Amino acid sequence: MVTRVLAGEQSPEQCRSSIASRRTWFRILFGAMGASIASLLYPVCRYLVPPPDESLNTSEALAATTNELKPNSGKTFRFGNKPALLVRLASGEYRSMSGVCTHLGCTVQYRPESTQIWCACHNGCYDLNGRNLSGPPPRALDIYDVHVRGQEIYVSRKQAA
Amino acid sequence: MNAAGRVQTWIDERFDVEEALQPLRDKTVPVHRHSHWYFLGGLTLFLFGVQIATGLLLLLYYRPSASEAYESVQHIMNRVQFGWLVRSIHSWSANLMVFCAFAHMFSVAFARAYRKPRELTWITGVILLFLILGFGFSGYLLPWNTRAYFATKVGTEVAGQVPVIGRAIMIFMRGGEDVTGATLTRFFGLHVVVLPAIAVAMLLSHLLLVQKFGISVPATVENEWQDRPDLRKEMKFFPNFFLRELMAWYIALAVLIALATFLPWETGTKVDPFAPAPPGIKPEWYFLAQFQTLKLIPSHILFVDGEVLGILGFGLGGALWFGLPFIEALLGMRGARLVRLGVTLALTYLAAMSVVGYVAR
């Protein structure tokens, strides 16, 4: 039997289906709105990540001039945006290594008394080849190449062999 | 019971959320032919929220010093991922917020919604508008570009023309005799700490008052409703009006993103304090009317400096604007008509001067 519906009236089934379709429509609408709002989170998350620092790629820096360092002394200089160490051994030979302690990132210094590299923060010691000798440092310091050109001493990252 | 239900019960046993929300459930919004003006206040609020969110993001990379400000804004625009989007939304949203605040204020003025008992709502609203203009003025300098530099020079010079205390105000604003890095640091502190703190307090008072007194019905509609009570209509604030307002916010967000994407905000050229002002320099559109007035005013009127007279005029205008509800009450029977005439004249003057200022060389 067919249910007759008068104009302006709804059968219970129609009423139910109309509520159901309204609900579906509501879900689609709010789902789409939610998705578009969520899509704003993507640029925000990307924005929060700082852009890469160009100075990280620095491969060479001027460390000192030849008349600057006496034998058995050291100097800290800027290599990119990190400190690095230039040491003149008692023999007059130059050595250079990263100035950032491998333990917790303090800046290390050359100690002429012990002819070692020492980190004041937690008493870490390295030898002149950058190897960690005592204290908490877990790894050796990166060693750099030293080139003397005329009066100027340049330091560069070690080329991968 | 699931975890969410348990948390809810735990909170309910300590704090009656339902009771706190009840005023919002009871809140209604009058429905009549001018109802669409009710969206403007909420829209201004939304744009203020956008300003806080994008402002916090900009703080991550911006540096407030004369030597770094311009470079840091360039860094945001060119190097930070989506930095151009965040900054452009901040600039566009600022402009839309000023526009919405003005539109909201004039709609309230024309509907005479400031009548007793809503005088305090009006006053907190006018204070908020001035705060918004303060945000615009102080924020404009932060990119440290040529336009901003001269806008600030002129703006602070204008404050310096106020009789007796003007010079002290100017030196305080600039942090010295001239606009320098000291000014930039001051404006930065004002823009990100002082103004937001005052604005949030003012905003909460404003909203609380709106909530307390309910939404005003324009005087004309109120009269009709008194004659024919069957015409009186209302809708529930939650969810009926709230969902409509949400749609308005959603559209505003779309407009903002479109503007920021297709018309990203420029960085300009870095300040050179010894370079001459570039030709055709103008303030932001919302200061154009005042700018143009000062340009047109003769240098001497009787024995007074034209500038001084203009600035006293702005001060008087501002004071009258604050006192609008009281002036109407003082004028008695003809108050409503006179105030309406005054508001119309004020709007016409501001609009006309802004257009003249925009077109003029």
A-B contacts at Cβ under 8 angstroms: 27
Tell me, yes or no, whether A81 and A118 share the same domain: yes
Distance CA B208, CA B242 (A): 17
The parent domain of residue A38 ranges over 1-49
Angle at B82 between CA B81 and CA B85, to 5 degrees: 160
CB of B83 within 8 Å of a chain A CB? The answer is yes
Distance CA B186, CA B312 (A): 26
Q: What are phi and psi of B114, to 5 degrees?
A: -85, 0
Are the C-beta atoms of A22 and A10 separated by less than 8 Å?
no
Question: B75 contacts in A (CB within 8 Å)?
Answer: 51
> Helix or strand or coil: residue B82?
coil
Of B75, B85, B250, the CB nearest to A43: B85
Mean pLDDT over each residue of chain B, to the nearest integer = 92
What pLDDT is recorded for position A3?
47
Q: pLDDT tens digits, residue range B181-200?
A: 999 999 999 999 999 999 99
Q: pLDDT tens digits, residue range B253-285?
A: 999 999 999 999 999 999 998 888 888 788 899
Among B27, B38, B25, B29, residue whose Cα is nearest residue B233: B29
Q: pLDDT tens digits, residue range B141-176?
A: 999 999 999 999 989 998 888 888 999 999 999 999
Here the CATH number for the domain that contains residue B130 is 1.20.810.10
Q: What's CA B138's distance to the chain center, in Å?
A: 13
The answer to whether position B336 is within a domain reads no
The answer to whether position B5 is within a domain reads no
The parent domain of residue B260 ranges over 31-220+235-266
Mutate to test the interface with A, among B62, B63, B82 (most CBs of A within 10 A): B82
Tell me, yes or no, whether A79 and A33 share the same domain: no
The answer to whether position B279 is within a domain reads no
Distance from CA of B54 to the nearest CA of A (A): 9
Tell me, yes or no, whether A79 and A129 share the same domain: yes
Are the C-beta atoms of B98 and B133 separated by less than 8 Å?
yes
Q: Decide which of B23 and B49 is more confident.
A: B49
Tell me, yes or no, whether A109 and A152 share the same domain: yes
The answer to whether position B303 is within a domain reads no
Distance CA A10, CA A21 (A): 14
Interface of A with B (CB under 8 A): 33, 43-44, 46-51
What pLDDT is recorded for position A1?
43
Least-confidence region, from A70-79, B14-23, B317-326: B14-23
Q: Per the CB < 8 Å rule, is B81 touching A33?
A: no
Question: A46 contacts in B (CB within 8 Å)?
Answer: 81-82
Q: pLDDT tens digits, residue range A24-73?
A: 988 998 898 889 888 899 999 999 999 987 766 678 899 999 889 999 99
What pLDDT is recorded for position B103?
97
Tell me, yes or no, whether A32 and A90 share the same domain: no
Tell me, yes or no, whether A82 and A126 share the same domain: yes
Q: Per the CB < 8 Å rule, is B60 touching A43?
A: no
Residue with tokens 């615009």: B136
Number of structural domains (chain A) is 2
> For residue B244, is pLDDT > 80?
yes
Question: A51 contacts in B (CB within 8 Å)?
Answer: 75, 79-81
Q: B347 pLDDT band (50/70/90 cuts)?
A: very high
> For residue B77, is pLDDT > 70?
yes
CB-count exposure of residue B329 (10 Å: 0-12, 13-18, 19+) = middle
Of A33, A44, A49, the CB nearest to B250: A33
| Domain stop point among A14, A30, A49 | A49
From residue B238, alpha-carbon distances to A33, A35, B39, B74, B161 in Å are 19, 23, 14, 44, 50
- Amino acid identity at A80: G
* Residue in B with minimal Cα distance to A32: B250
Tell me, yes or no, whether A99 and A133 share the same domain: yes
What pLDDT is recorded for position A8?
55
What pLDDT is recorded for position A161?
52
Mean pLDDT of A12-30: 84
What pLDDT is recorded for position B64?
95
Number of structural domains (chain B) is 1
Are the C-beta atoms of B292 and B358 separated by less than 8 Å?
no
Q: Decide which of A161 and A21 is more confident.
A: A21
Tell me, yes or no, whether A118 and A91 share the same domain: yes
The answer to whether position B9 is within a domain reads no
The answer to whether position B345 is within a domain reads no
> For residue A160, is pLDDT > 70?
no
> For residue B101, is pLDDT > 90?
yes
Tell me, yes or no, whether A149 and A110 share the same domain: yes
Q: What's CA B233's distance to the chain center, in Å?
A: 31
Q: pLDDT tens digits, residue range B290-338?
A: 889 988 888 888 788 888 888 889 999 999 999 999 999 998 888 889 9
Here the CATH number for the domain that contains residue A135 is 2.102.10.10
Tokens linked to A53: 């620092």
Are the C-beta atoms of B358 and B293 separated by less than 8 Å?
no
Distance CA B256, CA B106 (A): 23
> For residue A23, is pLDDT > 50?
yes
Distance CA A33, CA B194 (A): 35
The answer to whether position B96 is within a domain reads yes
The answer to whether position B289 is within a domain reads no
- For residue A62, the tally of other CB atoms under 10 A from its CB is 13
**Packed helices B324-331 and B119-141: angle between N→C axes, nearest 10 degrees:** 140
> For residue A106, is pLDDT > 90?
yes
Beta bridge partners of A79: A82
What pLDDT is recorded for position A158?
81
